[in-house]
Amino acid sequence: TTAPTYDNILLSNPAPGVTLITLNRPKALNALSSPLFTELNAALRDAATDDSVGAVVLTGSDKAFAAGADIKEMMNKEFAEVYKSDFLAHWTEVTKFRKPIVAAVSGYALGGGCELAMMCDIILASPTAVFGQPEINLGVIPGAGGTQRLTHAIGKSRAMEIVLTGKNFSAQDAAAWGLVSRVVEEGSVVDEAVKVAGQIAKKGRVAVQSAKEGVNAAYELSLNEGLHVERRLFHQLFATNDQKIGMKAFAEKKKPEWTHK
Ligand code: CAA
């Protein structure tokens, strides 16, 4: 099979088990057009079914992770069209991807760019990263999770201030508020994200996917329901080879060789 070719993203394999997806519309600061998202979704579908892929890193350029949805594509759209086609609904495919995605954010992550980063499982930020939901300045509001995921991540008062004023916030603020897991040295954000993804890719895939499912349940469910899901996922892992392998290796002071089964 030949690898698909894309116009708006680049694909590479920077470490064992890691797919690196680089948004690549440099002239538009990686504005998230429909063709770009169609390609991103296709690349994720391939990564989902490719057994050799354990984790994905999503990044942009030094200047921009992504400066938002493509304003020039949106500007002449009408209500009936966006409503009937459920415009932006296809963006949610990213959140259905069941392997971990690490976002490596450098430069602008604005509007849909911030929202796309928030759809990922882990966000690492360069000190140059600039986050924001500036949609209010365009006469609209965030349309891909900015009023929801940002509020969950940083709390109501801060989210209200960001969404209502449209002002940007820094990588340092994003780390202090818990939106990103850490700020790394300038120029190293992709390497650091590949390192994290590489560590994850070395684990047993069934346990990794179960862990992601468990943490995500914390966003949707009450504490009791979430704890129930967690315990059931935990129980299920006793049906895997990897549970036997991992615990036996510990007892024998050996390194586990995962079978991903
Ligand atoms: N859509 C389309 N094109 C964009 C874009 C976007 N979101 N962001 C940048 N571009 C284009 C610019 O139009 C410009 O193109 P031309 O060279 O053809 O004029 C090119 O990228 C470079 O941008 P600038 O010249 O503006 O670069 P700058 O360094 O002066 O400014 C910036 C950078 C502050 C990020 C500025 O580009 C900007 O404000 N961009 C828009 C940010 C924004 O409003 N994002 C939210 C979009 S709405 C949304 O995302 C809805 C949602 O919730 C899903």
**Phi, psi at residue 6, to the nearest 5°?**
-125, 155
Task: Calculate how far, in angstroms, residue 150's C-alpha sits from the geometric centre of ligand 1.
Answer: 21
User: Which is nearest to 115 in space by CA: 80, 165, 153, 172?
Assistant: 153
The structure tokens 């954000």 sit at 189
pLDDT digits (tens, 9 = 90+) for 116-157: 999 999 999 999 999 999 999 999 999 999 999 999 999 999
The predicted structure's pLDDT at residue 2: 64
- Which numbered atom of ligand 1 lies nearest the CA of 133? 46
Cα 164 to averaged position of ligand 1 atoms, centre (Å): 19
Q: pLDDT tens, 40-88?
A: 999 999 999 999 999 999 999 999 999 999 999 999 999 999 999 999 9
pLDDT > 60? residue 1: no
Catalytic residues: 69, 112, 115, 135
| pLDDT surpassing 80 at residue 3 | no
Specify the residue with its C-alpha closest to ligand 1, atom 44: 134
Nearest-CA residue for ligand 1 atom 32 is 67
Q: Which amino acid is at 237?
A: L
Does the pLDDT at position 38 exceed 70?
A: yes
Q: Which pLDDT band holds residue 5 (cuts at 50, 70, 90)? A: confident
Of the chain, the percentage scoring pLDDT greater than 70 comes to 99
What is the mean pLDDT of the segment spanning 248-254? 98
Q: How far is the CA of 153 from the centre of ligand 1 (A)?
A: 25
**pLDDT confidence tier of residue 192, bands split at 50, 70 and 90:** very high
3-state SS, one letter per residue, for 8-77: CEEEEEEECCEEEEEECCHHHCCCECHHHHHHHHHHHHHHHHCCCCCEEEEECCCCEEECCECHHHHCCC
pLDDT of 194-222, one tens digit each? 999 999 999 999 999 999 999 999 999 99
**Ligand 1 centroid – CA 257 distance (Å):** 47
- The mean pLDDT of 5-15, rounded to a whole number, is 97
How far, in Å, is the centroid of ligand 1 from the Cα of 139? 15
Residue of 23, 71, 128, 131 with the most ligand 1 atoms within 8 Å of its CB, for mutation: 71
Tokens matching residue 29: 């600061």
Residue 163 scores a pLDDT above 60: yes
Q: What percent of the chain has pLDDT over 90?
A: 98
State the Cα torsion 51-106-65-4 to the nearest 10°.
-40
> CB under 6 Å to ligand 1: residues?
28-29, 31, 67-72, 88, 108, 110-112, 115, 134-135, 138, 142-144, 146
Q: Which atom in ligand 1 lies closest to the alpha carbon of residue 110?
A: 45
